[in-house]
Amino acid sequence: MTPGLRRWTFLVAGGGLGALLVWGFVGLPGFGHYPGPYGDLLNSVAVGQRHATDVVTAINFDYRGFDTLGEEFILFTAATGVSIVLRELRRERERTAVDEAAGREAPATSDAVRMACLVLVGPTMLVGWNVVSHGQVNPGGGFQGGAIMATAFVLVYLSGEFIALKRLSPVHLTDAVEAIGAGSFAALGVAALALGFPYLDNILPLGTSAGTVDSSGTIALISFFVGIEVTAAFVLIVGELLEQTLLVRGDR
């Protein structure tokens, strides 16, 4: 199929799809007229029941915790998949370096970039940790904070210190942290079962008042486990992808 013909076919089919979508959307309750009832119900009971002022996190790690367990294992599986797809193939090391832009030297990382990245590592880690540990109080939680904490590791790479990144996050350590994070989430559910409660039931004391870091029982704990799992998963994925540039470029 030629590109032109393909484009015309899409314009016809896409026009039909667009019309169908808009036809369907017109039948939805209008924007701003959410009919409920689940969201309204949770908004009114979550703070009292779970001592968590962030209802989204309360849903993720408690009311809908079992779904989130699956979600976490999607990320876990993706990190595993990336490692397997990008595993070192035979002969790969033997391949000679191919300069993709012959006659143009790869510029060295400038001192300004290096300095800015290294200065930002600490604050980024702190912000990420703050987002993880306050997920039950403010917008945030394990997934969001984990992604920010992984950024701190990427900043180390951007500063030109790939070797330092590898030393900071050796693969076996990252693997272990990721497995501990994911496994602890599942184990917390089993602990509830062992005590005679439903799976992933909130078995820990909820704290005296809502809106504090030590409130909300297992929600805060799961947020922590998810945080370290997500950090490790992203560091693993980014590390695997970055390692490929080294393989392709050879030992430069």
Partner 1 sequence: MHVFPFVVVAWIILVGLYGIVTSRHLVHLIVCLAVVQSATYVLLLGVGYVSRGAAPYFSDIALHSRAVDPVVQALTLTDVVVEAAVSALLLAIAVQTHKRFGTLDPDELKELQG
Q: Which residues bind partner 1 (CB under 8 A)?
A: 3, 6-7, 10, 14, 17-18, 21-22, 25-26, 28-34, 36, 38-40, 42-44, 46-47, 53-56, 58-60, 64, 67-68, 71, 74-75, 77-79, 81-82, 85-86, 89, 137-139, 141, 143-144, 147, 210-211, 234, 237, 240-241, 244, 248
Residue whose CB is less far from partner 1, 21 or 173 = 21
> CB of 179: closest distance to partner 1 in angstroms?
17
Question: Smaller CB distance to partner 1: residue 3 or 196?
Answer: 3
Q: Which is nearer to partner 1, 55 or 155 (CB)?
A: 55
Give me the least distance between CB of 229 and partner 1, in Å please.
11
Instruction: Report cis status (omega within 30 of 0) of the bond before 37.
Output: yes
- Residue whose pair of structure tokens reads 């393989």 in the numeric block: 247
Task: Work out the number of other CB atoms within 10 angstroms of the CB of residue 60.
Answer: 22
Contacts of 190 (CB under 8 A, 6+ apart): 199
Alpha helices in 86-206 (DSSP H): 111-133, 142-158, 162-168, 171-194
What is the smallest separation between the CB atom of 114 and partner 1, expressed in angstroms? 26
Min CB(234)–partner 1 separation in Å: 8
- Give min distance, CB of 111 to partner 1, in A: 30
- Judged by beta carbon, residue 6 or residue 111, the one nearer partner 1 is 6
State how far the Cα of 136 lies from the Cα of 157, in Å rounded to an integer.
Answer: 31
- Look at residues 227, 3, 196 and name the one whose alpha carbon lies nearest to residue 134: 227
CA 23 to chain centre: 35
Distance between start and end Cα atoms, the chain: 42
DSSP-derived letter for residue 207 is: -
Nearer CB in complex with partner 1: 144/218: 144
Distance CA 120, CA 125 (A): 9
Please say which residue, 204 or 242, places its beta carbon nearer to partner 1.
242
- Shortest approach of partner 1 to residue 175 CB, angstroms? 16
CA distance 8 to 19: 17
